[in-house]
Structure 1
Amino acid sequence: MKESEMGGSAPKYRLSPANTLFVILNTAFMIAFVIVTLYPVLNTLAVSFNDGTDALRGGIHILPRKFTLQNYKTVLKKDNLMVGAWVSVARTVIGTVTSLLANAILAYIVSRKRFLFKSQLSLFWVITMYVNGGLIPVFLLYQNLGLTNSFWVYIIPGMVSAFNMLVMRTYMQGIPDSLEESAQLDGAGYATIFVKIISPLCKPVYATVALFIAVGQWNSWFDAMLYNRMSTQYTTLQYELMKLLSSVSNQGASAESMKNAASAAAVTPTSVRAAATIITMLPIVCLYPFLQRYFVAGLTIGGVKE
């Protein structure tokens, strides 16, 4: 009687020399890829914690040579920075929730087989991805709608995204119709089906789209410059950091950017730029691990059709 039939352990699978070589090369490639990807981030982090004057000598890799917090103090003491941070947090949270809800409802509507105009609406939204009215007409439209010099210019125009809607629509089309039909036989309406059946199954694609929206809202600064440039109460963190980077790049160690520093000689445009970059990316880096497990599934499963 064979060992496997007697309840013993099955013999271990041995890789062929070719497969062993492939595993070794693949592992080496992935390690090299991770190093190449992480090195710029770690280098920027090291420069941000290094003395600015010392950083001009070069030779800094992933560890600061002369540790200091002066670069972050210079950035964090900038005028309107805290106001911009609160506005950025508010627009990211509110914009993500409202946009996710609007796109999910539209995606559910156009994914239903009984909806007559789903093809025409989908084509209409696809066209908007390639054609727009231009910067000046859009500005005049927002001005006539009363969106300029207001917080809602960050929220309302971005509530519907053709790309995000199509991603969620494709995912919803992969959900078996039998689930909806059985719910309808039990007397459930479309709203109940969307909330209690479709949405729980769409958590992966919701998390993926939410990450897209949150990153876009957090990193956006151009709309603040266009529509709220004269309203300091609606400034954003990214816009304030952009102005800081522009000032230190154009003027070097200017009096404006260095006025709150304890030692102006220890801060340079390069070190301030590195500190501003780390501050900008930190919230998204902290958010991504919580959504990472949904990220790949939300993009790949949505493209699978029965």
Structure 2
Amino acid sequence: MFALKRRTKGEVIFDIINNLVMLCVCFLTLYPIWYVLVNAFNDGNDAMLGGIYWWPRIITLKNFEAVFASPGIMLAMAITVAKTVVGVAVHVFFTAMVAYALSRRDLVGGKIYILIGTVTLFFNGGLIPTFLLNRDLHLLDNFLVYIIPVMFSFFDLIIFMTFFREIPDGLDEAARIDGANDWSILLRIVLPVSMPVIATIALFHGVYQWNDYFTGIIYINNVDLQPIQTYLFRVVAQSSSNTMMTAVQGSAATRTVTSQSIKLATMVVTTLPIVFVYPFLQRYFVKGMMIGSIKG
């Protein structure tokens, strides 16, 4: 039996200080979220009096009723869900397809392609050339503007490629002996055994798609195609939230709803869905982040 090493006084002090610092960081990170949630469930007029920090003083759902009464929010939510689902599927498949080709050591010119792709990690064309390109591709006021420009990422390709190169060559060779071509190997062998990395990239891109509001501001003028984050941006930008207040005007809700409470409730509505999805992908995400870091 090995005797437990006695900790020195300096190690104990370091652990205490380290834990206190981490607790402060966690508090500073989580409290703003809690504050928004508390005030979103509180009576709007009562919240204007101040003093609400830890728990709602007058609990109400009128703020959320006002949010969902807005004629555009449900359509914006549907656009966001659609672009997230379609965008993740297209991005994962297209990036995995290119990564599989570049992971093949017998690919002619593979190193040159990787070098060219690496340059794009540090340089891009800029906002104006990108806008002109999307305009010439007829992507303005087009749902595909959420999908095509981001269907490929060289950073995600590196993660895919690292994982694919760790798959035993015997699987590939056995499949080719059985008559499988590259498409069959990718779809029936490589992708099914790559769930950790697929979940990781899906989570990366899914969070991006859900939180992206800039694309809707730059490329979308049709309000019927704006995502929920762009909708939220415009709500917050409007000091009086006229659109939502008009939706509930004349009802009993106007006595308890304010523009500030509507903004906070909208933030909660737009944030919670992606927060609920994360725990289901966390175990794949943690494993996927370790890809390529440990050999053996």
TM-score range, shorter chain: 0.7 to 0.9
C-alpha contact (below 8 Å) 1:170/1:303 kept by paired residues: no
3-state SS of the aligned residue for 1:302?
coil
Match of 1:260 in 2: 247
Q: Deviation at 1:15?
A: 4.6
SS of the equivalent of 1:67 reads: coil
Alignment identity in percent?
A: 38
* Alignment-derived partner of residue 285 in structure 1: 275
Paired residue type of 2:246: K
Distance across 1 between alignment mates of 2:105 and 2:200: 25
Alignment of 1:164-179 (within 5 A): 164-179=156-171
Change (3 A) 1:135 1:35: closer
Task: State the SS of the aligned residue for 1:188.
Answer: coil
- Give the stretch that moved more between structures: 130-139 or 200-209: 130-139
Q: Distance in 2 between matches of 1:29 and 1:182?
A: 54
- Report the alpha carbon displacement of residue 23 of structure 1 after superposing the two structures with TM: 12
Is 2:66 the counterpart of 1:74?
Answer: yes
How far apart in 1 are the matches of 2:52 and 2:4? 42
Residues 163-209 of structure 1 deviation map (CA, whole Å, 9 limit, x = unaligned): 11111111212223233233333433222222222212211010010
* Secondary structure of the structure 1 residue equivalent to 2:231: helix
Letter matched to residue 260 of structure 1: A
Deviates more, 1:48-57 or 1:207-216: 48-57
**Deviations, residues 112-145 of structure 1 (Å, cap 9, x unaligned):** 1111222211222222222222222222221221
Q: 1:61 aligns to what?
A: 53
Residues 90-109 of structure 1 mapped to structure 2, 5 A cutoff: 90-109=82-101
Q: Secondary structure at the match of 1:99?
A: helix
Q: TM-score, normalised by structure 2?
A: 0.87
- Distance in 1 separating the partners of 2:6 and 2:28: 29
Partner of 1:4: none
Q: Which runs of 5+ in 2 are unaligned?
A: none
After superposition, where does 1:40-189 map in structure 2 within 5 Å?
A: 40-189=32-181
In structure 2, relative to structure 1, the CA distance for the partners of 1:23 and 1:178 (3 Å cut) is farther
Q: Is the 1:102–1:160 contact (alpha carbons within 8 Å) kept by the matching residues of 2?
A: yes
Of 287, 291, 295, 1:301 maps to 291
Q: Distance in 2 between matches of 1:139 and 1:162?
A: 20
Q: Secondary structure at the match of 2:34?
A: helix
Kept in 2, the 8 Å contact 1:78–1:257? The answer is: yes
Structure 1 runs not aligned, ≥5 long: 1-10
The number of equivalent residue pairs is 290
| 8 A Cα contact 2:44 2:261, kept in partner | yes
2:178 & 2:120 partners in 1: Cα distance?
Answer: 39
Residue 229 of structure 2 corresponds to residue 238 of structure 1: yes
Report the CA distance shift for 1:183/1:85 in structure 2 as closer, same or farther (over 3 A): same
Please, which of 204, 207, 212 is the counterpart of residue 212 of structure 1? 204
Report the Cα offset of residue 215 of structure 1. Answer: 1.0
Counterpart Cα distance in 2 of 1:89 and 1:263: 28
**Change over 3 Å in CA distance of 1:298–1:129 after alignment to 2:** same
CA separation in 2, counterparts of 1:14 and 1:30?
30
